[in-house]
């Protein structure tokens, strides 16, 4: 099997690179083990330092509507956080006091949404709050088992009964000027979000639930669908085990499912994430990157990895694989000519490219540009 470019990891970084390269006519493949950080996504992309016109266009072609403005967003526990680029589900406010009176609506039997914390947080901002629950008979079968009464399973049902949800919420409204709903809508596409906003005559704000994140899963699904529609090959549930290197270049990779059938490519993009996705591995003696054996920046003094203050920025989150200015990954101090590292595997080694999801996107676009210039 041979491709122009093989991307290892199908999270936000890998999918963004795949979309960009595939849309420019390259023949690419993404190999991905499984769950990624999008399954926990809040809906807002952390800073990426630059106006994201290209990404808005790329995502819009996949059916994902983004909006870019500076503001604050409501967090799942009723606090507020600065945000910029966000999915359309996420409302950004000029200030936390976004309404005079709000109605927080939960679904009976759903414990993964923190209505009372939300109400308390809103009250602190001077927004007077009421909490109400709606009992939908359609959810009764799920409600019998707490493990079934989860965001994604609920969203599958809610998306089928959106008109009924609108009717029920309207009946609960009195003089409120905002409604806060759990993020359990729009699993397949965001049309349901628009429908709710049109049908409910006051401001509709969606607040996060416990994972999995419904908007995050939708984002992952739509990106993957668009990637495949452009002709990309997505190898799901496979794991890249090792790479074959010769004179500073990688020729092929081996995966768990393909046994001795190696995948060859002109370029490789490493987008395997941080510790969470096992892109980086740590043990008491150090931190390593398991596929290529890349150089990883970390403090040799183990006790410097952690800040004893739990809430402080943790130094270990800044560690990551080392690259040159063009995002070529370094191995034994030398840049591998055709291997680029992107996304959270970079940790804090490239702060100029942003943080969190911003870093994933910016680094994916940068590495793709490098590859496209080479071609």
Ligand X SMILES: Cc1cc2nc3c(=O)[nH]c(=O)nc-3n(C[C@H](O)[C@H](O)[C@H](O)COP(=O)(O)OP(=O)(O)OC[C@H]3O[C@@H](n4cnc5c(N)ncnc54)[C@H](O)[C@@H]3O)c2cc1C
Residues binding ligand X (CB under 6 A): 8-14, 31-34, 36-38, 40-42, 44-46, 239-240, 271-273, 276-279, 291, 343-344, 356-357, 360
CB of 63 to ligand X, least distance (A): 19
Closest CA to 140 of 112, 169, 108: 108
CA of residue 117 relative to chain centroid, distance: 24
Residue 99 or 322: the one with the smaller Cβ distance to ligand X is 322
Residue 172 or 317: the one with the smaller Cβ distance to ligand X is 317
CB of 356 to ligand X, least distance (A): 3
CB of 236 to ligand X, least distance (A): 9
Residue 84 or 159: the one with the smaller Cβ distance to ligand X is 84
Residue 31 or 166: the one with the smaller Cβ distance to ligand X is 31
CB of 36 to ligand X, least distance (A): 3
CB of 8 to ligand X, least distance (A): 5
Residue 129 or 353: the one with the smaller Cβ distance to ligand X is 353
Residue 117 or 275: the one with the smaller Cβ distance to ligand X is 275
CB of 227 to ligand X, least distance (A): 13
Q: What is the 3 state secondary structure string of the chain?
A: CEEEEEEECCCHHHHHHHHHHHHCCCCEEEEECCCCHHHHCCCECCCCCCCCHHHHHHHHHCCCCEEEEEEEEECCCCCEEEEEEEECCCCCECCCCCCCEEEEEEECCCCCCCHHHHHHHHHHCCCEEEEEEECCHHHHHHHCCCCCCCHHHHHHHHCCCHHHHHHHHHHHCCCCCEEEEECCCCCCCCHHHHHHHHHCCCEEEEECCCCCCHHHHHHHHHHHHHHHHCCCEEEECCCEEEEEEECCEEEEEEECCCCCCCEEEEEEEECCCCCCCCCCEEECCEEECCCCCCCEECCCCHHHCCCCCCCCCCHHHHCEECECCCCEEEECCEEEEEEEECHHHHCCCCHHHCCHHHHHHHHHHHHHHHHHHHC
CB of 193 to ligand X, least distance (A): 17
Residue 202 or 235: the one with the smaller Cβ distance to ligand X is 235
Residue 186 or 356: the one with the smaller Cβ distance to ligand X is 356
CB of 65 to ligand X, least distance (A): 17
């Amino acid at each position: 099997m041979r491709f122009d470019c093989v991307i290892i990891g199908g999270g936000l970084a890998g999918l963004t690179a795949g979309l960009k390269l595939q849309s420019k006519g390259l023949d690419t493949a993404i190999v991905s083990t499984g769950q990624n950080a999008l399954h926990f996504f809040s809906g807002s992309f952390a800073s990426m330092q630059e106006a994201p016109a290209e990404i808005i266009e790329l995502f819009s072609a996949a059916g994902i509507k983004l909006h870019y403005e500076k503001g604050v967003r409501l967090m799942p526990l009723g606090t507020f956080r600065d945000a910029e680029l966000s999915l359309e589900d996420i409302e950004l406010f000029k200030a936390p006091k976004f309404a005079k009176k709000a109605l927080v609506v939960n679904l009976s039997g759903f414990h993964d949404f923190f209505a009372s914390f939300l109400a308390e947080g809103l009250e602190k901002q001077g927004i007077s709050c009421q909490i109400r629950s709606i009992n939908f008979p359609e959810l009764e079968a799920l409600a019998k088992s707490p493990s079934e009464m989860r965001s994604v399973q609920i969203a599958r049902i809610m998306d089928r009964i959106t008109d009924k949800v609108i009717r029920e919420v309207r009946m609960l409204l009195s003089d409120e000027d905002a409604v806060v709903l759990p993020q359990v809508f729009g699993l397949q596409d965001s049309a349901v979000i628009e429908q709710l906003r049109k049908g409910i005559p006051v401001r509709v704000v969606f607040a996060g639930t416990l994972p999995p994140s419904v908007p995050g899963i939708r984002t992952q699904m739509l990106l993957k669908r668009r990637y495949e529609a452009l002709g990309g090959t997505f190898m799901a549930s496979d794991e890249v085990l090792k790479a074959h290197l010769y004179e500073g270049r990688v020729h092929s990779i081996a995966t768990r499912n393909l046994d001795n059938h190696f995948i060859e490519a002109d370029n490789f993009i490493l987008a395997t994430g941080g510790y969470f996705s096992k892109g980086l591995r740590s043990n008491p003696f150090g931190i390593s990157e398991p596929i290529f054996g890349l150089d990883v920046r970390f403090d040799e003094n183990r006790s410097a990895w952690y800040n004893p203050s739990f809430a402080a920025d943790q130094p270990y989150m800044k560690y990551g694989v080392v690259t040159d200015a063009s995002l070529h990954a370094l191995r034994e101090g030398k840049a591998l000519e055709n291997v680029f590292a992107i996304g959270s595997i970079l940790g804090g080694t490239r702060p100029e490219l942003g943080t969190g999801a911003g870093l994933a996107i910016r680094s994916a676009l940068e590495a793709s540009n490098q590859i496209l210039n080479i071609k």
